[in-house]
Structure 1
Amino acid sequence: MNQIPILPPIARTSDKSFLSAVQSYIKDEKEKMEMAGQCNAEQQCVIYGQALDKVIDYCTNYKGILTAIKQEYDQFIDVIKQSQIDFVLLQGKLKALASEPTTLMYHRKRATELSKKIEIIHNDSCRIESELKKLQDNRRLKSEEAEDTTVLKTRLKPSSIFPGMTVEDSLSKDKLTEYLQELIMKRDTLKADIKSKYVPVHRKKELESKLSSALQEREEAEILNKKLMASYKRRRLIADTISTWAKSNKDVCLYDTILQVTANGNELNDDTCTAGLFDELEPSKISEGESVLDYVERFNELFVSKQFQAAAAQAANSPKGILRNMETMEKFKAAPVHDEDESPLLLFFEALMGSSHLNKHPVNAAMALDGIQYALSHDKLELVVHWVTQQKIMYSEAMGDFIYDYGQRKPYYKSTCLALAQLIYRKCPNYKKAALCMCLQGQVQGALDYTSQCKHFTIEDYVFLLRNCPNAELIYGLTKERNGKPAALSVGQAVLSLISIDHKEFGFQLLETIHNCGEHSLEQVILNDVACTPEGWVEIADECLNNNYQLLSEKVMSIVISQDGIVEITSNEEDGKIMEHVFM
């Protein structure tokens, strides 16, 4: 068993507890390493190094010399590690050098073997080529002998001068006369057929070209007929829709109905085409519906032909904004994107924002947010700046949050994004986020003026500012009177907020600054702080003590204890024995 070393006599209880904690830490870490099977010299060195760091942080008086000693030992250890690495590398190089002669010998032996194999393969190839040549010569001789035999047989065989006649018939005068009459009849028949049944070749080509052009005209006519029929059906249905809208349901938007009819126009059947509907309508309604329908059909034609820029302009300038909606946006989003072309969706947003105005046809918040998200995903910040600053859109808090987050991800554009987010937050309005953007841009005094003018700026909003932008100028501005108005936050509230978000140093610096202003300045601040309870100041004093601000902690505790009705409660054992009978 490892014996626990005897500690030297230490006067202070805190030092004893610290040393005991350090030794306990070393023992626990070594046990963990032993259980994991990793307790080698290097791991032990790391454990003792961490323990020495704790000692250096604790012993502030000897921090410099202890740090220098630790650095020297760390350098020495690094030199030893580097020498070990160099030794391993040198060993590898030595092995490689020692194996070079053997490797060279093996390579030469392999080269000799391959040379022999190449020679054998070359000899075999020459032998096979010679045999193949002999076979080809023999085959050629045999074929020539067979051809000579066939020619000889043909020459020896008797044949007729006229095809279809035997040798005896070709020597008979009567047979020859009959054969001549047959030939004359065939000649006359061919001459008659040439005049009645056959035409020149160029005439055939002309007829084929005419036939192909006629077929093409027929196909074009069929396509045009289909388009006209579809347009006719749409117009009949829009007439029916306008008639129903004009008679009964006045609350339904006419343009929304026309859009729905246009989208479903290809699914219509002949039953929907009823005659005489236009007779029941007012001429103004018919004209208005037809013009809107023609506009939508023109947009569909441009979109189908992939003229996305013209289609985007058509949609952005549509009458009554019938195409300035989410459905049109989704249609552009689903369009194919080519590398060499600009995105159809981006063209739609550019046309939409360019034709928009806040007083007439503003882009709604949801579509504007989608447009900004898409533009920033393609790093088109200049477009977003134009849209926001020219008041082309309706603002929303989500839009400001997205631009703010983009600035956090892109430090180069952070200042521009903060300015845009500030403008959006002020228009929403979201006062605390607008003030935060001003503080992050360094406009702390402007932010303080802005918050003092806002009637609905609460203490929670001030704490939000302090937590998200803790700097000395903002802290002092929030804890001091401004333009005759009381401070936004008390000193206690500000310090407690900073402690809770792990920015304690700013709070301690504030207390030290107040303490250095005069002998009773800190006491006046604590006594006049009605927003922070004595328990809160005790918590602040404890944090000061835990962070090596002992004098400041003692000063705060003495001021708190000196107040009327405040008594310090200790955990002395003798006090416990005195009150023991109360709980018996």
Structure 2
Amino acid sequence: MDVSTKYPRLPPIICDRDKIALKEVRTYIKSELEKARCSTDDVDVKKFSIYSTAFSMLISKVTVYRDILSDIKREYEDCINALKNGEREAKFLKVKVKTMTSIPTTVHGYMKREKELRERLSILYAENERLEGILKKIIDEHENLNHDHHDEVESDQEEESETDIIELKPIPGMPVSEWIDEDALKYALEKLTNTLEDLKSQKQSSYVTIEEMRAAQQEFDGKYAEKEKLEEECQTLKGRQKILKMAADTAREYRELKHDIVDEKLSSYISKKVTAYSIKRETTNLVESLYSVFDDDDPSKEKEAEMILDYIEKFNELFYDEEYVDAATHAAISPKGVLRDMETFLRFKEVSENFEGSPSPLLVFAEAFMYSSSAQNHYADEKISFECVNCALREKRPDLVLHWMSNGYIKSCKSVADRLVEFASSASKRKTACLAVAQKMYAELEGSKVISAALLYKLKQPTRMLEFAISEKFTRDTYLTLIKECTDVDLVWLLCNTKGDEILEDETRRNYTGYEGSLPLPLSQALASLLSEGEEAKEMVLNLLDDIFYGQKSEQDDNGSEPESAFLASDLSKIIYEDGQDPYDTDDLVTQRWEALAGACEESGRTEVLMEILAALTVRATMKKALDLIAEDEKEQFDYYT
């Protein structure tokens, strides 16, 4: 008798790993089908993708028949891809056939349209011939009238006034072709009107009457004479002060050396020193006066002033003629930087407000200003740096800002860094580069270290952020400000589970150890500080407590991977027991923080977490009391035996 017929066939023995794998695959298929809302009867691409992924998961996790299953999956996928390609090609051919069938109808329509246009063209030709005949008849009649009145017209032309002759003169600055163009004449008239108004306003604001100028000159001469008189008095008083100081120093020196100076009195000793100083000072004043006379008679200074005035006048001409590129270059390379100031920036900014096109005159001047900074040895201050950066970012040119920053043309200031952060929040390109430049600026500024550390964390550089914070000796309050700035649960967990001396070199660790605010932060203090930062931060704190309580939050090991065991519910109690064990916290402060967190849990309806916190606080208080009693007993015994 066959054994296989005598005894029923046993099911295959599946190991625990395969069971878990099959369960995960089934769970994945069920959840993904529910998310994609795929029906069980229709053919759906999403459904095929879900089962293909599940098949790959199964192949990667089972221990037997892996090669055969891979071959089967590959054949199925090739077959399905072939069906897809066939369906796609069929749709394409269907559209192509439909297009080909409509070609004769289109050709017939074009031929009919051609016939209609030819008929209209013949009608237009006939109408043109008729109008030409009428026009020729009118011209002949007009020539006859001109011949009859020729003498009368000549006499009228001779009697025209001088003003009429002036009006017939050529218009300066306009070509002959625009003399009869109404739009061009209106534009020229408007431009001349604006120029006339500008000259009138300049006459009122930039010029004064000769009487006012003379009065101002007299007032200036009086003030200047008064200034010279005060300077002479000041120099006299300074000389007296120096002489008195020298006399006092000489008296002090005489008192120290009176044993060596026996034959000389104090008055003669002081007189000798003061006389020597006076002779030296008169010699120095004489040399300085000679140099000042030579400087006053130097003709090159007057010539230099005339050249600067001519240069400014040339810039104004280019600017009023709307030649902004040449004007920007002219101003950027001005001698002694007379045009490299905020006033010139404001002039370019004013004309850029209604300017159409890119780049704007302001951006052109900003580029010329920056690129000529090293040659002129004149770099932008904070206001000009902000104007240049703001203009470049407004016209979507962050590459210019990064180039200027890399060459040191921009002065680091908070306004520029804030503008870069604002641009990065809405930009899609060069976002990381803008944030990196802003972080570097914040790091160089006092009072912006927390923002610099926050940007390092947003740039996904937590190690550099910790090194920067420790090198700047962040206190505990500074770390709490950093947490409020970022409002990120991973940052809270990082600062509460990182020891500062673990990421420092030996030499740096010696400088770091002992200052207040060293890591790690107490978890209760970090979470309690976020409760008052709005509903979003409060919800993040409560979710973190839920994760710890239900075992969903776990620390990472040294390799950066998750450990085998996650947190259990008892780990929240463990955290409460060990919280605040440093010299900067007291037991009452820790209890107050956890009570505040418990109150937030009670308000949000998290009863289980609330009970766990209260129970842990009770146990903590009991243990504290017991330890205090034990310590007191040991102290009494020690006092007894001693």
TM-score, with normalisation over the residues of structure 2? 0.42
TM-score, with normalisation over the residues of structure 1? 0.46
